[in-house]
Amino acid sequence: MKDLIYKVRNSEFLTFNESLKVKVTLVMIFLLFFASLTVPISIFEDISLSLRIVVPSVFFVLFVSTFILLSFDKSRIAMHLSIYTFLGLTVYYVDGSGQLYGYFLFFITLTVIIFYQDITTYILYGGILTGYGVYYIQVNESLMIDNGYSLSETGPVIYQTILISFFLVYLVQFILTDSINDNLNTDYLKTKKINERYRSYIFRYLSDIEDRENMTPIKDNSHFQECVRDVSTFIANKSTHSNTNIDIHEVVDFYFFLHKQNINDIIDRNDLSPQVKKYATQFQKYLIYGINDLDTLLFKGIFYYQKGIDNKVNRYNTHFDEIFSNKTNRILGLVMMYLFLTNEITQIDQWGRIQKILTHQEVKTLFKSKEMRQILSFEDINFFLKNENFFKKFL
């Protein structure tokens, strides 16, 4: 239980599958609690004997099956089973007991489906349940009439309208959440790609500087290697793993050896032991300056105390529509951007060096490309194309 609460509290760090597993477990706890309170009482309702035996038995089988599936990491099938269980209970109560009671259960079951936050599941099961609810109220209209009230005849319509509205509002929520998250996710991925490229530029410059200044790369620096060996040995000896028969010195030596090798070749070689291949595969993420996990963390550490650019307003907006409200500023922005692109090194040349400055024609192609819609509007691009010769002549 403690573990479950911990997982809910840190749910943002869970993968989809882990998160789904937690959700199914929670639903099963709710279900157990709910059924243990309601099933015994419903036995006294006007329900046939066979139903009184069949329903709790089926419930029990579904319940146990769901937990078995969960323990085998089949969270998705477990989710479907838990929904079936709730759907079954809803139909059982609606048919067997009070209509108002059953009507409320439609909302509970919809809530369970919402809880899983899966739009397809919601549309499918939620749609079927809502449809069933509307149909049931329609065919049992006489039972749903609010006798004695001013709305006696309209009662069923209100029941139906609220149920449909509830379903639709959550459908809107699903679509809205998905659309916002998708946009943010795309933005995140694109920026991450750009960051990876920037990191590769930094390493290229680093390599150029090392060559020019005749410096030893840090991975080849014997003092650095020695220091890594000493500190690693110290940590390994203090750890609970100190009794293992792995020699940390050998591990460190192998780590630096890998910097001079093509790791994929090592992994593909048949004459090497599985242990060697395992270490090579694991170290692949931690090679120095290799666009990998280690350098991601290295830059996170380096950037921790840096402040970045000074803009606070519109800090992350790059589209001209968002950062400029008048045409004069847009033109100035466009001119400065063009100037930068045609005068500064921004790309890798055909020889793999960061040397390339874009030509007017290349900037024109870039401005006309689909990707530039992230920055410029059609209006900006039209201004550029219309005054192309001016840009070319004076900038």
Window 36-95: residues binding other proteins (CB under 8 A): 37-38, 45
Element (H, E) at 355: strand 354-356
| Nearest distance in Å: CB 134, other proteins | 13
Return the number of the residue (271 or 394) whose C-beta is nearest other proteins.
Answer: 394
Nearer to other proteins, 80 or 199 (CB): 199
| Closest CB 293 distance from other proteins, rounded Å | 4
Map residues 301-340 to x or -, x wherever contact with other proteins holds by CB under 8 A. Answer: xxxxxxxxxxxxxxxx-x----xxxx-xx-xxx-xxx-xx
* Number of shown-chain residues binding other proteins (CB under 8 A): 172
For the residues of 10-78, what is the DSSP string, one character each? TGGGS-HHHHHHHHHHHHHHHHHHHHHHHHHHHTTSS--HHHHHHHHHHHHHHHHHHHHHHHTT-HHHH
Indicate the residue among 65 and 99 with the shorter CB distance to other proteins.
99
What is the phi/psi pair of residue 152, to 5°?
-50, -45
The four Cα atoms 60, 64, 69, 72 give a dihedral, to 10 degrees, of: 180
Q: What are phi and psi of 180, to 5 degrees?
A: -65, -45
DSSP for residue 387:
T
- Residues 320, 170: contact at Cβ < 8 Å? no
351 binds other proteins (CB under 8 A): no
Q: How far is the CB of 103 from other proteins (least distance, A)?
A: 8
Cβ at position 77, least distance to other proteins in Å: 19
**Residue number with CB closer to other proteins (138 or 165):** 165
Exactly one of 65, 121, 173, 377 binds other proteins (CB under 8 A); that residue is 173
Gap between the Cα atoms of 297 and 318, Å rounded: 26
Query: Quick one: CA dihedral 370, 375, 378, 384, positive or negative?
Result: negative
- Binders in 98-157 for other proteins, by CB under 8 A: 98-101, 103-105, 107-108, 111-112, 114-115, 117, 142-151, 154-156
Nearer to other proteins, 262 or 394 (CB): 394
Binding residue (CB under 8 A) for other proteins from 6, 72, 234, 257? 234
Among 74, 232, 277, 360, binds other proteins (CB under 8 A): 232
Bridge partners (DSSP) listed for residue 348: 354
Task: Return the number of the residue (54 or 168) whose C-beta is nearest other proteins.
Answer: 168
Q: What is the phi/psi pair of residue 378, to 5°?
A: -60, -35
Q: Are 98 and 154 in contact (CB under 8 A)?
A: no
> Within 18-37, which residues bind other proteins (CB under 8 A)?
19, 23, 26, 30, 34, 37
Contact 345, 357 (CB under 8 A): yes
Cβ distance to other proteins smaller for residue 304 or 351? 304
Does residue 354 interact with other proteins by CB under 8 A? yes
d(CA 339, CA 284): 41
Among 71, 138, 346, 382, binds other proteins (CB under 8 A): 346
33 Cβ contact list (under 8 Å, min separation 6): none
Query: Does residue 192 touch other proteins according to CB under 8 A?
Result: yes
Pick from 191, 261, 264, 382 the residue near other proteins by CB under 8 A. Answer: 191
The enclosing H or E element of 167 equals: helix 155-212
> Residue 171: which of 110, 262, 238 has the closest Cα?
110
> Considering only 61-69, 72-80, 123-131, 237-245, which stretch makes contact with other proteins by CB under 8 A?
237-245
Q: Is the Cβ of residue 16 or residue 72 nearer to other proteins in the bound state?
A: 16
Report yes or no: 344 and 287 within 8 Å, Cβ to Cβ: no
Measured CA to CA, the distance from residue 385 to residue 364 in angstroms comes to 8
Choice between 232 and 377, CB closer to other proteins: 232
In whole angstroms, the minimum distance from the beta carbon of 241 to other proteins comes to 5
Q: Does 241 bind other proteins (CB under 8 A)?
A: yes
Residue 51 beta carbon to other proteins: minimum distance, rounded to whole angstroms: 16
